[in-house]
Amino acid sequence: MSPSPAVTADLAHDLRLATMRLARRLRQQRADHGIPLGQISVLATLDRLGPLTPGALAQHEQVRPPTMTKVLANLKSDEANVKAVLAKVQLGEGDAGIVYKTDAAAAGNEVKAIAIPDMYNIIAEYPIGAMADSSNVAAARAFVTFVLSDAGQAILAKYGFGKP
């Protein structure tokens, strides 16, 4: 048995009111970082479903492909290096960027660093060694020994580098 038209109208009104309240609450909560809801939705979808083509993403988000193209254009940037990405965020020209932890730390309070969960993160590795044909093998070996010592590791840790 279907609900009466009066009950349906009341439910529709309550749903509309709840939706408006939820939208208002979401706008208030995102005000801290200013990322548009469309971009947050796209990022959440990609996190949940993994890589998608722009067409599939547009279909999933129920928007037209040109709209998705505009959203995606604002999610990426083609900076030449990590320093340029960081500078763009510091200048307010970008909402977020992926940079090395050490670069984010050097920016101090100008940016807010958010750790990438281990399952998504790629840890950079920096091998060290002395060249056998170095013009000063003794100094090269002494440098490697220092970097691997407790004192050298303390300096690296101070700047955000992890242990080897």
**What residue spans define the domains of the chain?**
77-123, 125-164
CA–CA separation, 49 and 111 (whole Å): 29
- What pLDDT sits at residue 28? 65
The answer to which of 33-37, 109-113, 160-164 has the lowest mean pLDDT is: 33-37
CA–CA separation, 133 and 78 (whole Å): 39
Give me the helices (H) in 91-126, please. Answer: 101-106
Mean pLDDT of 99-122: 84
Q: Which residues contact 149 (CB under 8 A, 6 or more apart)?
A: none
At 136, the pLDDT band (50, 70, 90 cuts) reads very high
Q: Which residues contact 58 (CB under 8 A, 6 or more apart)?
A: 64, 65, 67, 68
CB 58 within 8 A of CB 42: no
- What pLDDT sits at residue 128? 92
Residue 31 pLDDT > 60, yes or no?
no
> Which one, of 108, 106, 109, 82, lies nearest residue 94 by Cα?
82
Mean pLDDT of 1-25: 80
Q: What percent of the chain has pLDDT over 90?
A: 16
CA–CA separation, 65 and 85 (whole Å): 27
Residue 65 pLDDT > 80, yes or no?
yes
Q: Which two tokens stand for residue 55?
A: 């067409």
CB 15 within 8 A of CB 26: no
At 131, the pLDDT band (50, 70, 90 cuts) reads very high
Mean pLDDT of 89-107: 84
At 45, the pLDDT band (50, 70, 90 cuts) reads confident
pTM of the model: 0.45
**Quick one: which H or E segment has residue 150?**
helix 150-158
Q: Which two tokens stand for residue 44?
A: 């959440």
